[in-house]
Amino acid sequence: MKVWQDSLLIFPYVAWSGVFKTMEGLTMKRGRGAVCFFVALCLFPALLLASPTTPEQASQVVAGWLSLEAGPMKTDMGKTAMSVSRYDGPDGQAAYYIVSTNPKGFVIVPADDEVEPIIGFSPDGVYDPSPKTPLGALVSQDVPGRVAFVRQEELKKQEALTAGVAAKARWDTLSRAASQKNAVETGTASISDVWVAPLVQSTWDQDTAGGVNTYNIYTPNNYVCGCVATAMAQLMRFHQHPTTGVGTASFDISVCGSAATRALRGGNGSGGAYSWSDMVLSPGASTTTAQRQAIGALTADAGVSVNMDYCSDASGTDTLYAASAFRNTFGYSNAMRGLNNYSNLPTANRNAMVNPNLDAGYPVLFGITGDGGHAIVGDGYGYDSSTMYHHLNMGWSGSNNLWYNLPTIDTTYYNFNSVYKCVYNVYKTGTGEIISGRVTNSTGTPIAGATVTATRSGGGTYTDTTDAKGIYALSKVPSASNYTISVSKAGYTFTSKSATTGTSTNDTITTGNVWGVNFTGSGSGSGGGVNLMPLDIPTVVGGGSSGGFNEQFTGTLGNWTQYNGPWSISSGAATVSSPVMNKFNLLQYTSVNFQNFDYSVRMKRSVVDEWANVILLRATPTPLDEDGLFNSGYYFGFTTDGYFNVSRMDNGSWNSYTGWLTSAAIKGNDWNVLRVTASGSSLKFYMNETLLYSVTDSTYSTGKVGFGFYAGAAGTFMADYATLSPLDAVKGDVSTASPTIYQGGSSTGRQ
């Protein structure tokens, strides 16, 4: 694989397709309906082709990402994108870039803007592209495969186009963020949401620690112990199991291809119990001989148990052998083998294998392709914006441990398989499947301490309590069973759900686990939940020059001015069932101008579509623009198909800061809470208490507030409360120059 090294400055511009911007101008005025999209593709067939990216664009997108993040996924990635290295695919074209960050770490960026821009990131170490390393093997197979996929003719399929357009939007957003550094409050918030933090704390390797034989102390000729042995040993160190001796059974191994046998050592050389307390998590130069021997005994036995082929440059075996070794050699009661006929594990099946285990606190093993294959540990997951990442412990002394967006494309269309094996449901005791999910309140805030109960049809009850992230996991429940799952927590009410486990089957993609049985509680709670209110919100004060309001929509709309509609009060909500079509239908609060405030509206749209639902602030309503939107002010909108937008309205002209971006914080056509804090020139935009965007803009300092929706399709809109509390201006707040505004897009909805 070729590598090109470039040292780059971060340029304050966006290298972007002029054709794509032309498409935006033609298609984004009225929505992303099928007719508009089809016409655009007919007019611009070049858009069917992916757009290769340059080292400058890779650096730009990382700079923008870092400017929006304060520690992505709780890591310290620094604030600056530094040098960029280019890596070519088999066709000789650029496949991906490694962008080094200051002071340390690196980001993996594809060389095409129809692939998710931030594929992976590590806060430590230096990237080694060699397929002999686990990370090099993963990236050099996976990323060129993604790029090859979007560049081929299969992109003419609608599903591929949809994914490509979403990736382009994220590229554009992050690139523009880099050029708006003065506008965004860098480092004050994070768009990351870690659902399960990394479980495995050991940073083990395959040979020496601090220059002294450790993991290889008992291997033939002190050859490396092998990545499968390291991954197995780290998983067993996590569980600290077995607790009794393993005996001295002999196993067939090979040494550089020559057949041999080797017996288990156990912790004392005679098959005794392992000394878990001596197995330090991060060995180094000061590690004692006894500690090295304790670790080396485990890694040696792990390798022997899976028939390792030891040799001087690498030691290898099949990752899936680990499942049998856990059960038959090391006393684990359960371990399953996931396999997709040596192709990538399909996303849904892989997530069902893996995520319930992580929710339950059980690490898993992944088998990845490479020079002889590699095994790594999967031990955490979460989201950055709407992109799912898994934490991978690479078994490389902690170097290159990273958060990685696992492959999501169907390998039917290409030959770049990467993550194709999984060892999961590894239990010390018990058998069965795992049902897991998340419990939140109506604003999306996790509820801790809720009791989740699964009642099995035919008998059996299983319970768990949600953690600080609202996660629960019902472990070791019977396979092939129907369950009614209920949640209880003082101050909340929940609707029960049904779930059915399958039967996990070895060497297939069939898993009995069920992931994503999520619950939303109604009510205010009675304490004990997790307060995820952003810490940087200015303190709410009483009074204020403009007062405030708490509208619960239980009486009339006498305090509100209606624009289109008709609006009415129904079941405690401001409601529009028969809107004026192809117009905004809005409510504006009285004639009061508000300056510094915390403003929230809880709203719901009955359908899932691409049309905008909005709150408006510091606004001058009239004259309305041609779509019925307020004349000027600030705009915060979302679509029920999962996108949000922050914009400014200037005398009938709609200028977007963000474009339409995806966010996991949006709850579809369920209740969503939009919230904005405005203090001086500081504006912060929240969705269900997740900070989505911050901007400093002094164009409008006071004005009206309102909310509503664009009726591009039939459906009912409801808002069951709107509240506004005055704020003191942030001390020392100084208005700055307005940011560069992104021209294009539509106030009416997503395209």
Q: Which residues contact 748 (CB under 8 A, 6 or more apart)?
A: 29, 30, 31, 584, 611, 612, 627, 710, 712
With CA atoms as reference, report the closest residue to 189 among 665, 724, 719: 665
**Looking up tokens 């670790």, which residue turns up?**
295
Pair 719, 603: CB distance under 8 Å: yes
Phi, psi of 349 (to 5 degrees): -65, -45
Q: Is the separation of the CB atoms in 552 and 721 below 8 Å?
A: yes
390 catalytic residue (yes or no): no
Q: Are 112 and 409 in contact (CB under 8 A)?
A: no
d(CA 427, CA 330): 11
By C-alpha distance, which of 645, 616, 634, 624 is closest to 745?
645
H/E segment holding residue 344: none
CA atoms of 215 and 222, how far apart (whole Å) = 9
- Distance CA(484)–CA(457), nearest Å, equals 8
Q: Exposure string (b/e) for 276-309, b if CB count within 10 Å is 16 or more?
A: bebbbeebeeebeeebbbbbbbbbbbbbbbbebb
| Coil, strand or helix at 449 | coil
Which one is catalytic: 374, 390, 391, 422?
Answer: 374
Note whether 706 and 631 are within 8 A (CB).
no
Query: Rounded to whole angstroms, how far apart are CA atoms 155 and 171?
Result: 18
Q: At what angle do helices 18-27 and 34-43 cross, to 10 degrees?
A: 140
Residue type for position 677: T
Type of residue numbered 200 = V
Number of Cβ within 10 Å of residue 415's Cβ equals: 10
Give how far the C-alpha of residue 498 lies from the chain's centroid of Cα atoms, to the nearest Å. Answer: 26
Tokens of 746: 């539509």
Q: Which of 129, 146, 181, 155 is nearest to 49 (CA)?
A: 155
| 311 carries an active-site annotation | no
Q: How far is CA 114 from CA 117, 169, 207, 432, 601, in A?
A: 8, 9, 40, 40, 35
DSSP code, position 738: P
Give the rounded distance of the alpha carbon of 39 from its chain centre: 33
Ramachandran angles phi, psi of 160, nearest 5°? -70, -40
Measure CA of the first residue to CA of the last residue in the chain; give whole Å: 38
User: What crossing angle do the helices spanning 321-328 and 227-239 adopt, rounded to 10°?
Assistant: 40
CB-CB neighbours of 734 under 10 Å? 9
Residue 674, helix vs strand vs coil: strand
Task: Give the bridge partners for 649, in sequence order.
Answer: 633, 654
Cβ neighbours of residue 518 closer than 8 Å, sequence gap 6 or more:
437, 438, 439, 440
How much is the CA Rg of the chain, to the nearest whole Å?
A: 28
Residue 732: which residues within 8 A CB-CB, separation 6 or more?
none
Strand ranges, E, within 396-489: 402-404, 419-427, 433-441, 451-456, 461-465, 471-477, 482-488
Question: What angle, rounded to 10 degrees, do the helices at 289-305 and 321-328 form?
Answer: 110
Beta strands 704-710; 613-620: pairing state: antiparallel
Sheet bearing 250-255, strands edge to edge: 258-263, 250-255, 309-310
- Strand 309-310 and strand 334-339: the pairing is unpaired
Q: Could you write out the DSSP letters of every residue in 187-198?
A: TS---EEEEE--
Catalytic residues, which ones?
227, 374
